[in-house]
A and B are shown apart, each in its own frame.
Chain A
Amino acid sequence: MKALHDIKPAAANAPPLDVERIRRDFPILRQRVHGKPLVYLDNAATAQKPQAVIDAIQRYYSKENSNIHRGVHTLSEKATEAYEGARVKVKEFLGASSTRETVFVRGSTEGINLVAQSYGRAFLKEGDEIVISAMEHHSNIVPWQMLCGQVGARLRVVPINHDGEMLIDEYARLLGPRTRFVSVAHVSNALGTVNPVKQIVEMAHAHKAPVLVDGAQAAPHVKVDVQELGCDFYVFSGHKLYGPTGIGVLYGRERLLEAMPPYQGGGDMISLVTFEKTHYNNLPYKFEAGTPHIAGGIGLGAAIDYINGVGIDSVAAHEQELLAYATRSLSAIDRLRIIGTAREKASVLSFVLDGVHAHDIGTILDREGVAIRAGHHCAMPVMQRFGVPATARASFACYNNREEVDTLARAIGKVSEVFK
């Protein structure tokens, strides 16, 4: 088993987390489930929210609520300032060169659909090829399939090996003059694999194909710098990053966003409307039709402040250590097999127990207070690749600790007792 994770140098030098202090920032963790202390290990589905995020949303609705970009009155100015302030935090969080490149969307799913429908329908045509990997979430498969149906393009899929790593040689073979777009996960939600995004981008660029990186599972766990990665688009979801649901971000290179048609029409995305012609607004507003999720944007800003306060490198080092501990501890369990043993992993531990369906594991763990995900993780092709109907998945966040991993291991022991 080669899943003993090396801690990366940058993260290794990061100051250690005071996990007990961090836990106190998350009010939801104080509760009991079925009489047991909650052990929340379903962070890849959505992360819990620190008090600071809850407070920011509450403050907005109780003190600043107003529509943005349109009022001359004080509240509207405050709301606009808070919302646009959050955009600056997002820009810095991603290392984007300007806030014109950071579009607020509902989440990763909407970000990918936006690019598929706006960029894809404008610039792809019959016979063109879109390359994705075999470990994508459905939200990075279906929008491209829809686009293929609309423009006659073809979807090509890079296979993965038995550890859950993308086969780079196969990827190189798939790239060619027909390749017009590449879209891959930064971190796989079903396997935890961290993809070599920088290399993937360089190889695509050699064929002049732009690259979208699905950062839904990466943004909460690794330092993201879109300039360093070199990608053309990057998406992530606020709710997996300790922020609210219903808000996320699409980063796009300014040159590309400029060339793309709007995704939806409406208020805020225009500068001048007559019945003859409409002039679209500047970036990023061209892609933000209608009243946005203002509270969500502000909440996401607060989440980014929170992570910056804790330090993403410290979070990454802590989670790597926890993942390695959990991998060792679960590997020792009889009949248990870990699915996803890539050399580079983040936060996710997917497993199956011989003779026990993941759903039954999920139910029994829940009675022990342990929340995990059981199912296909919106990545049915990954399940097919590994020949399992479903897996159980524990996924870690900054507030998880070793005792919780021990509880998980004990709870899996209960599963084995029931299913002797």
Chain B
Amino acid sequence: MSELSDLYQEVILDHNRSPRNFKKLEGADRKAEGYNPLCGDQITVYVKLESGVISEVSFQGSGCAISKASASMMTASLKGKTVEEADAIFDRVHKMLTGGSSPAVDAEELGKLAALSGVSNFPARVKCATLSWHTLRSALKGERGVASTE
């Protein structure tokens, strides 16, 4: 039961129940859609940029607790970050999700986002957690089309 309780920590369940920044962002200057063909999870990420800084970020869509919580925590953690900083955080989160880092270091370097570390014990769920991040990345790059976890 412990791996499960690591996965579904109270923080994750809370973000799932009441996701932050779960709305359409009026006047967003970047927007991208993400899609996980395996399970049908869908997400739209909206970003407002002010001279290279993420001033606002929000999301909408449907998905499991992991994908929703990950998206919600992502929006909460990236406000005020530069595009480069956001990129670096994604790489760092990705490393944690795929089991490439230690919990102590995760907690120190990622703060609240470290609550997602339990996902690394569930390889089938990694894509749920990365969907919003991939989508954000394609929004920041101004890519057209749909981001995919595949």
Which residues of A line the B interface, CB within 8 A? 355-360, 363-364, 367, 374-376, 380, 383, 389-390, 418-419
Residues of the B chain whose Cβ atoms lie less than 8 Å from the Cβ of A418: 4, 8, 13
Comparing B25-33, B37-45, B91-99, B136-144, the segment that makes contact with chain A is B37-45
Residues of the B chain whose Cβ atoms lie less than 8 Å from the Cβ of A383: 40
Q: A357, B38: Cβ atoms under 8 Å?
A: no
Residues of the A chain whose Cβ atoms lie less than 8 Å from the Cβ of B17: 355
The distance in angstroms between the C-alpha atoms of A375 and B127, with both chains bound, is 14
Give the nearest-CB partner of B122 in chain A.
Answer: A363
Q: B40, A376: Cβ atoms under 8 Å?
A: yes
User: Is B65 engaged at the interface, CB distance under 8 Å to the other chain?
Assistant: yes
Residues of the A chain whose Cβ atoms lie less than 8 Å from the Cβ of B65: 356-357, 359-360, 419
User: Is B57 engaged at the interface, CB distance under 8 Å to the other chain?
Assistant: no
Q: A389, B41: Cβ atoms under 8 Å?
A: yes
The distance in angstroms between the C-alpha atoms of A374 and B17, with both chains bound, is 20
The distance in angstroms between the C-alpha atoms of A367 and B125, with both chains bound, is 13
User: Is B107 engaged at the interface, CB distance under 8 Å to the other chain?
Assistant: no
Can you list 8 A-B pairs, Cβ within 8 angstroms, ordered by A?
Answer: A358-B64, A359-B65, A360-B8, A364-B4, A383-B40, A389-B42, A389-B62, A418-B8
User: Is B3 engaged at the interface, CB distance under 8 Å to the other chain?
Assistant: yes
Known: A360-B64, A363-B125. A374 touches B39 (CB 8 A): yes
Among A360, A376, A380, the one with the most B-chain Cβ atoms within 10 Å of its Cβ is: A360
Q: B39, A390: Cβ atoms under 8 Å?
A: yes
Residues of the A chain whose Cβ atoms lie less than 8 Å from the Cβ of B125: 359, 363
The distance in angstroms between the C-alpha atoms of A364 and B1, with both chains bound, is 9
CB distance from A371 to the nearest CB of B (A): 12
User: Is B7 engaged at the interface, CB distance under 8 Å to the other chain?
Assistant: yes
Q: B13, A376: Cβ atoms under 8 Å?
A: no
Q: B64, A359: Cβ atoms under 8 Å?
A: yes
The distance in angstroms between the C-alpha atoms of A356 and B65, with both chains bound, is 7
CB distance from A163 to the nearest CB of B (A): 23
Q: A375, B38: Cβ atoms under 8 Å?
A: yes
Q: A357, B64: Cβ atoms under 8 Å?
A: yes
B78-103 interface bits toward A, Cβ cutoff 8 Å, 1 = contact, 0 = none:
00000000000000000000000000
Q: B3, A367: Cβ atoms under 8 Å?
A: yes
CB distance from B137 to the nearest CB of A (A): 22
User: Is B124 engaged at the interface, CB distance under 8 Å to the other chain?
Assistant: yes
Known: A367-B4, A418-B4. A360 touches B66 (CB 8 A): yes
The distance in angstroms between the C-alpha atoms of A416 and B125, with both chains bound, is 19
The distance in angstroms between the C-alpha atoms of A106 and B122, with both chains bound, is 32
CB distance from A112 to the nearest CB of B (A): 20
B38-60 interface bits toward A, Cβ cutoff 8 Å, 1 = contact, 0 = none:
11111000000000000000000
Among B3, B41, B42, the one with the most A-chain Cβ atoms within 10 Å of its Cβ is: B41
Residues of the B chain whose Cβ atoms lie less than 8 Å from the Cβ of A363: 4, 7, 122, 124-125
CB distance from B58 to the nearest CB of A (A): 20
Top 9 closest pairs, chain A to chain B, by CB? A359-B64, A357-B64, A376-B40, A389-B62, A375-B39, A360-B65, A360-B64, A418-B8, A367-B4
The distance in angstroms between the C-alpha atoms of A357 and B39, with both chains bound, is 11
The distance in angstroms between the C-alpha atoms of A358 and B66, with both chains bound, is 12
User: Is B63 engaged at the interface, CB distance under 8 Å to the other chain?
Assistant: yes
Q: B63, A389: Cβ atoms under 8 Å?
A: yes
CB distance from A379 to the nearest CB of B (A): 10
Known: A359-B128, A363-B125, A367-B4. A375 touches B66 (CB 8 A): no
Query: Which residues in window 1-22 of B have CB below 8 A to A?
Result: 1, 3-4, 7-8, 13, 17
Q: A359, B13: Cβ atoms under 8 Å?
A: no
The distance in angstroms between the C-alpha atoms of A305 and B7, with both chains bound, is 45
Give the nearest-CB partner of A355 in chain B.
Answer: B17
Known: A360-B66, A418-B8. A390 touches B122 (CB 8 A): no
Known: A359-B64, A363-B124. A375 touches B4 (CB 8 A): no
The distance in angstroms between the C-alpha atoms of A367 and B38, with both chains bound, is 20
Q: B63, A419: Cβ atoms under 8 Å?
A: no
Known: A363-B7, A418-B4, A419-B13. A375 touches B40 (CB 8 A): yes
Give the nearest-CB partner of B8 in chain A.
Answer: A418
Query: Which residues in window 96-143 of B have CB below 8 A to A?
Result: 122, 124-125, 128
Q: B3, A359: Cβ atoms under 8 Å?
A: no
The distance in angstroms between the C-alpha atoms of A130 and B13, with both chains bound, is 46
Contact of B66 among A359, A380, A389 (CB under 8 A): A359
Not counting A359-B66, A375-B39, a sample of 15 additional A-B residue pairs whose C-beta atoms are within 8 angstroms of each other reads A357-B64, A358-B64, A359-B65, A359-B125, A359-B128, A363-B4, A363-B122, A375-B40, A376-B39, A389-B41, A390-B39, A418-B4, A418-B8, A418-B13, A419-B8
CB distance from B1 to the nearest CB of A (A): 8
CB distance from A336 to the nearest CB of B (A): 17
CB distance from A390 to the nearest CB of B (A): 6
Residues of the B chain whose Cβ atoms lie less than 8 Å from the Cβ of A374: 39
